[in-house]
Amino acid sequence: MKHPDDMTPAVDLTAAPGTGPIPVRRPEWRNLLPPCNNACPAGEAVQSWLALVRAGEYRQAWEAILQDNPLPAVHGRVCYHPCENACNRDAMDEAVSIHAVERFLGDMALEKHWLPRFAAPPSGRRVLVVGAGPSGLSAAYHLARLGHGVEIRDAGPLPGGMLHFGIPAYRLPRAELLREIARIESLGVAITLDHNVDDLHAEMRAGGFAAAFVAVGAHVSRHVDIPARDAARVLDAVGLLRSVASGEPPLLGRRVVVYGGGNTAMDAARTARRLGAEDTVIVYRRDRAHMPAHAFEADEALAEDVHIRWLTTIRDISGTALTVERVTLDGDGRPIPTGEVETLAADSVVLALGQDADTAFLRQVPGIAFRPDGVVEVGTDMMTGAPGVFAGGDMVPSERTVTAAVGHGRKAAHHIDAWLRGAQYQEAERPSVVSFAMLHLPVYSDAAPAVQRELAASARLEGFAEIVAGLAEPSARREAGRCLSCGVCYECDNCYAACPEQAIERLGPGRGYRLIEGACTGCAVCFEQCPCSAITMIDVAARPDPTQAGAG
């Protein structure tokens, strides 16, 4: 582990050699941006709600999440937590298990039947949301919070989109999903199911909607031409997962081959095992280093006795026999045929080659532009080329994750609200992100990360029971306590205690500190003792105000 003292300091202190009668630098308390907050696609202020959990203020922490994300119990289970990938704590020992603490709060809210405690006066404007997936649900939630009347219309029999029909229940139990959706409905959001929107403008006129947000998701499976593919039972992965979620699982047989290397391929293979397939093989044309699936998804599939054939492609299907060919990769990672073939036996073949959004119904809307792959072009305000028609989620150019989709919904809601008022929504300016090298931390770490219990591998294939358990209250609070509060003052009093001139005054809980100008010599001891880098040393001449209050 590197100690911050071994790294280049974040502020050049050569101009402040120490105490003196004419100080050239002064401390300024200035909150910077924690890397977890910066990395969250949903826009959550992760550090702030972790601090509330650390203090035992669980409902306040949950409400802090709800400022940005209405589905914490869902996200605590299915988000790929880029916040943890960015966590500075990882450079010390291990990243804070942010997703586990978020799930703890989401589950506690469901258990205690908490409801959001905010309301806005009715605006008198109605907004149509097309699609009840994560992006549509997020947009509807935030629009309702802003006082607008919202109706979601979805072609499916149940709300949730790919949350319901694309993510297996062993990762996302349906009870928790539907209860979080019901909480969104409690804000006055109406959800109309089994309703196809074929003519967007006609729907808007008939319903009196002043704007629309379209988030239909990517439900259409991509296919590939494989000779004689109809000679065997061939399914697409999305169709398989949808059938299982609808309570109508298909008969796959004993031997199943899944073609693809993404997260959906892993889910399809693991689902096949739960449906009774004894021999399940994933065939993927690249190696593990180039697979689009997250590494832990492949690890979990392997733990459930799914076999993965890397650097392999399907050439043709004849009855229950598959001819597969070995490939190599060129310098750019592209597969190169080798001519080496062999035969695999399969009762069913599941194609998991990616999905596209069905945006054909929007092609009749003047002004909407499409990319060659069918996704819809949107501006930075999430609006399409058609005035008042916004779009998000998998149907726009972006990363295709649940969290990104929820972030689109939040962002679009604010822009829709501004558009309805004839204004423009402006995101607040973001401060600089705090790196690990900027922190002043002790050289030791004695806070082991919390561990979520997992269902034994031998029991997983007995059904679709949830695999990963949540954290108990003591573990969740202790895990939140591992947060380093990067860039944000948490009133630890290190600066107050370290100042040799007693030039720092405490202002009270939540109010931070104040610098006593005449006493400060610019020695920078407070800066060096601030563990979270919430103090910046600035030139005295650059300070416009001789009095400086700290930000807690």
pLDDT above 70 as % of the chain: 92
pLDDT in tens, 388-435: 999 999 999 999 999 999 999 999 999 999 999 999 999 889 999 999
Residues written for the chain? 552
What domains does the chain contain, in order, with CATH numbers? Answer: 4-31+489-542 (3.30.70.20), 36-116+449-480 (1.10.1060.10), 126-219+357-420 (3.50.50.60), 223-353 (3.50.50.60)
More confident residue, 333 or 102: 102
Q: Does residue 355 carry a pLDDT above 70?
A: yes
CA angle 517, 506, 431 (to 5 degrees): 80
Q: Over range 450-474, report the average pLDDT.
A: 93
More confident residue, 545 or 343: 343
* Cα dihedral value 339, 342, 347, 352, nearest 10: -40
Instruction: Tokens for 417, please give them.
Output: 């609200």
DSSP per-residue letters across 292-321: SS-HHHHHHHHHTT-EEE-SEEEEEEETTE
pLDDT of residue 34: 97
State the pLDDT confidence band at 13, using cuts at 50, 70 and 90. very low
Q: Provide φ and ψ at 393, rounded to 5°.
A: 80, -150
How far apart (Å, rounded) are the C-alpha atoms in residues 517 and 110?
50
Report which of 466, 404, 483 is spatially closest to residue 103, judged by C-alpha positions: 466
Q: Does residue 10 carry a pLDDT above 60?
A: no
pLDDT in tens, 340-352: 999 999 999 999 9
Dmax (CA) for the chain in angstroms is 90
CA angle 101, 102, 108 (to 5 degrees): 90
Q: Does residue 548 carry a pLDDT above 50?
A: no
pLDDT of residue 6: 41
Residues pairing with 325 in the sheet: 313, 341
User: How many H-runs (helices) and E-runs (strands) does the chain carry?
Assistant: 18, 19
pLDDT in tens, 57-84: 999 999 999 999 999 999 999 999 999 9
pLDDT of residue 379: 96
More confident residue, 443 or 109: 109
Q: Does residue 139 carry a pLDDT above 80?
A: yes
pLDDT of residue 443: 67
CB within 8 Å of 547: residues ≥ 6 apart: 514, 515, 517
CB within 8 Å of 71: residues ≥ 6 apart: 106, 134, 137, 138, 180, 406
pLDDT of residue 488: 96
Q: Provide φ and ψ at 319, rounded to 5°.
A: 65, -125
CA distances from 357 to 27, 166, 323 (A): 53, 14, 31
pLDDT of residue 191: 98
pLDDT of residue 15: 39
Q: What is the pTM of this model?
A: 0.90
pLDDT in tens, 255-292: 999 999 999 999 999 999 999 999 999 999 999 999 99
How far apart (Å, rounded) are the C-alpha atoms in residues 378 and 132?
20
Q: What is the DSSP letter of 111?
A: H
How far apart (Å, rounded) are the C-alpha atoms in residues 32 and 488?
6
Look-up of token digits 């109406």: 190
Are β-strands 307-309 and 312-318 bridged in parallel, bridged antiparallel, or unpaired? unpaired
Residues pairing with 491 in the sheet: none
pLDDT in tens, 314-341: 998 888 889 999 999 998 888 999 999 9
How far apart (Å, rounded) are the C-alpha atoms in residues 451 and 468?
10
Query: pLDDT averaged over the chain?
Result: 91
> What burial letters (b/e) apply to 468-501, b meaning 16+ CB within 10 Å?
bebbeeebbbbbbebbbbbbbbbbeebbbeebee
How far apart (Å, rounded) are the C-alpha atoms in residues 393 and 405?
4
* Cα dihedral value 160, 162, 164, 166, nearest 10: 180
More confident residue, 5 or 263: 263
The half-sphere exposure of 389 on its side-chain side, counting CA atoms within 13 A, is 24
How far apart (Å, rounded) are the C-alpha atoms in residues 415 and 419?
6
pLDDT of residue 16: 41
Beta strand segments in 115-218, E:
126-130, 149-153, 190-192, 211-214
pLDDT of residue 2: 40
At 338 the three-state DSSP class reads strand
More confident residue, 545 or 527: 527
